[in-house]
């Protein structure tokens, strides 16, 4: 205990700027291993500024020894950013600028040749506690090199029983070109299953629209629509798209270049729980079945079954309508 007090006093005099600027400060130790096998250990000092600005409420001074090489990094951000190490070989800084409706930023750090680098930053926007959009900034010019290094970790840790943090699930967005070329449909199913277990359905929607099914979905994310369900029926795309602002559910059939049929209905929370959803067009009903193993569309006219079409199993997107608030 005496050694700790001595260290704290020495630290105070070593960082006089923090004594002058900080309303609150904390010292934390950190250690782990980066993706390329470099081991690191060190400390970071969190400082909540006395005179904060709109985009600079706090500062983090990170000092790391990476296999004998000293590295430092200064982060400026919101009021209470959190730092986490990951089994994926990165350090993430998750910074939410307010409550669950406010924007957030995730900064990912890793090492290359014993040097600490910013792998990338992801900015998140929330609505009703769920992520509705994101953007990527500051992508490192070494990303292509890092993609091959990350591939084994991605394949292994995201499916196996490894505990991952919330920021870890967004990390794959930095490597979406890699995912499109190297990830199988079976892996995607397992990935969705794990996200469902972790109750990250909004992240599932992000990957559906922006990575895994972005070339097939008929949902328009620029118009507040989320992927609720989708598949190919006789080589034609079927998409259920949820407009969460106006509580509308769209039935769309066709392709991204040509829409053959669109139907719409207003839905409530009870409708979201249904596994068979009915859309009506004059005297014809379209019943979309999202039950596992029964996915497809039944068409009825005047209470008589007319046709039944099954989804191509390899093209099915998960049904996540009931996860949207």
pLDDT score recorded for residue 41: 97
Residue 318 has pLDDT above 50, yes or no: yes
Rank 14-18, 64-68, 143-147, 321-325 by mean pLDDT and report only the highest.
64-68
pTM for the model: 0.83
Percent of the chain exceeding pLDDT 90 equals 45
What would the mean pLDDT of 151-160 be, rounded to a whole number?
76
Cα–Cα distances in angstroms (integers) from residue 245 to residues 208, 214, 249, 280, in the given order: 19, 21, 11, 22
DSSP state of 323: G
- Give the residue, 189 or 296, on which the prediction is more confident: 296
What would the mean pLDDT of 202-230 be, rounded to a whole number?
89
Q: How far apart are CA 30 and CA 209, in angstroms?
A: 36
What would the mean pLDDT of 245-263 be, rounded to a whole number?
95
Cα–Cα distances in angstroms (integers) from residue 107 to residues 37, 65, 74, 131, 183, in the given order: 20, 19, 12, 17, 24
217 pLDDT band (50/70/90 cuts)? very high
pLDDT score recorded for residue 75: 95
230 pLDDT band (50/70/90 cuts)? very high
Domain ranges of the chain: 2-183, 209-323
Rank 2-11, 65-74, 83-92 by mean pLDDT and report only the highest.
65-74
User: Encoding tokens for residue 52?
Assistant: 């904060």
Q: Where are the alpha helices (DSSP H) in the chain?
A: 2-14, 16-21, 143-157, 166-171, 176-182, 185-197, 201-207, 269-272
Q: Which residues of 114-128 are buried (b: 16+ CB within 10 A; e: fewer)?
A: bebbbbbbbebebee
165 pLDDT band (50/70/90 cuts)? confident
User: Going by C-beta distance under 8 Å and a sequence separation of 6 or more, which residues neighbour residue 260?
Assistant: 236, 253, 254
User: Going by C-beta distance under 8 Å and a sequence separation of 6 or more, which residues neighbour residue 82?
Assistant: 93, 94, 95
């Amino acid at each position: 205990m005496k050694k700790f007090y001595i260290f704290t006093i020495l630290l105070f005099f070593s960082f006089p700027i923090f004594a002058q600027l900080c309303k609150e400060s904390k010292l934390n130790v950190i250690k782990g291993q980066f993706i390329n096998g470099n081991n690191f250990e060190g400390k970071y000092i969190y400082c909540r500024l006395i005179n904060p600005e709109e985009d600079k409420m706090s500062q983090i001074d990170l000092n790391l020894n990476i296999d004998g090489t000293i590295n430092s990094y200064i982060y400026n951000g919101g009021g209470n950013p959190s730092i986490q190490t990951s089994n994926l070989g990165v350090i993430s800084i998750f910074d939410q600028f307010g409550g669950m409706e406010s924007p957030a930023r995730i900064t990912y750090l890793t090492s290359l040749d014993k040097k600490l680098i910013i792998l990338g930053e992801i900015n998140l926007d929330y609505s009703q506690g769920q992520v509705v959009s994101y953007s990527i900034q500051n992508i490192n010019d070494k990303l292509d090199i890092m993609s091959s290094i990350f591939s084994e970790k991605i394949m292994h840790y995201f499916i196996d029983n490894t505990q991952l943090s919330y920021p870890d699930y967004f990390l794959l967005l930095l490597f979406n070109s890699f995912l499109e070329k190297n990830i199988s449909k079976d892996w995607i199913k397992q990935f969705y299953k794990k996200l469902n277990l972790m109750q990250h359905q909004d992240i599932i929607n992000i990957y559906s629209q922006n990575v895994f099914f972005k070339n097939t979905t008929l949902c328009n994310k620029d118009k507040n629509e989320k992927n609720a369900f989708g598949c190919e029926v006789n080589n034609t795309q079927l998409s259920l798209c949820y407009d969460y602002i106006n509580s509308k559910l769209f039935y769309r059939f066709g392709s991204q270049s040509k829409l053959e049929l669109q139907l719409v209905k207003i839905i409530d929370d009870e409708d979201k729980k249904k596994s068979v959803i009915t859309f009506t067009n004059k005297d014809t009903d379209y019943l979309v079945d999202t039950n596992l193993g029964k996915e497809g569309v039944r068409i009825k006219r005047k209470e008589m079954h007319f046709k039944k079409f099954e989804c191509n199993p390899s093209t099915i997107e998960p049904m996540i309508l009931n996860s949207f608030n």
